[in-house]
Amino acid sequence: MISRAQQNQLRQKFFNLSLLTLITVILWVAAVTYQALTKTQVTPQQQQAVSPLTPSLDTDTIEKIKQRQQIPPEDWGNLVKDEQ
């Protein structure tokens, strides 16, 4: 049988262990939360991809596109199959 003094000492040790465990868990959760809130997961390539487009039109680029050579559509029916 456990004496009353040993029982009180055991309760005190269990309380201390529980308290230290609680403090450890609270610090751990706080550290993980801080890390999750401060660490960005967006890469520079993703940041560049989602950057807003400029609403103005570049007239020089539009003129260059207009001046490109137009390729006429091909008549695929006139192609002859090579027989070997």
Domain map of the chain by residue range?
Answer: 1-39
Give the residue, 49 or 8, on which the prediction is more confident: 8
Tell me: the pLDDT tens digits for 2-38?
899 999 999 999 999 999 999 999 999 999 999 988 8
List Cβ neighbours of 10 (8 Å cut-off, separation of 6 or more). Answer: 2
* Residue 83 confidence class, pLDDT cut points 50, 70, 90: low
pLDDT in tens, 63-82: 888 888 777 777 776 766 66
Torsion of CA 8, 11, 15, 18, to 10 degrees: 160
Flag whether pLDDT at 84 surpasses 60. Answer: no
Per-residue pLDDT, averaged over 50-67, amounts to 81
